[in-house]
Amino acid sequence: MLSQESLQQIDREIAKYPPEQKQSAAMSALRIAQVEKGWLPKEVIEFVASYLGMPAIAAYEVASFYNMYDLEPVGRHKITVCTNLPCALSGGVHAADYLKEKLGIDFNETTPDGKFTLKEGECMGACGDAPVLLVNNHHMCSWMTKEKIDQILAELEDK
Partner 1 sequence: MSGSGLILAGVDGDRAWGLQDYVARGGYSALRKVISEKIPPETIIAELKASSLRGRGGAGFPTGLKWSFMPRSFPGAKYLACNSDEGEPGTFKDRDILRYNPHTVIEGMTIAAYAMGCERGYNYIHGEIFEVYERFEAALAEARAAGLLGQNILGSDFSFELFAHHGYGAYICGEETALLESIEGKKGQPRFKPPFPASYGLYGKPTTINNTETFASVPFIINMGGEAFLNLGKANNGGTKLFSVSGHVNRPGNYEVAMGTPFAELLEMAGGMRGGRKLKAVIPGGSSAPVVPGNVMMDCTMDYDSISKAGSMLGSGAVIVMDETTCMVKALERLSYFYFEESCGQCTPCREGTGWLYRVVHRIENGLGRKDDLDLLNSVTGNIMGRTICALGDAASMPVQSFVKHFGSEFEYHIENKKCLVPPEVQYEGSQIYVRP
The binding site for partner 1 (CB under 8 A) comprises: 16-18, 21, 23-28, 30-31, 52, 54, 58, 61-62, 64-69, 83-86, 88-91, 93-95, 98, 121-131, 134, 137-140, 143-146
DSSP state of 137: T
In the three-class reduction of DSSP (H, G, I as helix; E, B as strand; rest coil), residue 78 is classed as strand
Q: Are 24 and 69 in contact (CB under 8 A)?
A: no
User: Between residues 80 and 110, which has the closer beta carbon with respect to partner 1?
Assistant: 80
Burial (CB < 10 A; 0-12, 13-18, 19+), residue 43, is: exposed
User: Between residues 17 and 157, which has the closer beta carbon with respect to partner 1?
Assistant: 17
Closest approach of Cβ 81 to partner 1, in Å? 12
Q: Are 20 and 53 in contact (CB under 8 A)?
A: no
Closest approach of Cβ 76 to partner 1, in Å? 18
User: Between residues 2 and 141, which has the closer beta carbon with respect to partner 1?
Assistant: 141
- Edge-to-edge, what's the strand order for the sheet holding 116-121? 109-110, 116-121, 77-82, 133-135, 139-141
Closest approach of Cβ 112 to partner 1, in Å? 27
Q: Are 14 and 52 in contact (CB under 8 A)?
A: yes
User: Between residues 108 and 145, which has the closer beta carbon with respect to partner 1?
Assistant: 145
Closest approach of Cβ 25 to partner 1, in Å? 7
Closest approach of Cβ 1 to partner 1, in Å? 19
User: Between residues 105 and 135, which has the closer beta carbon with respect to partner 1?
Assistant: 135
Burial (CB < 10 A; 0-12, 13-18, 19+), residue 84, is: middle
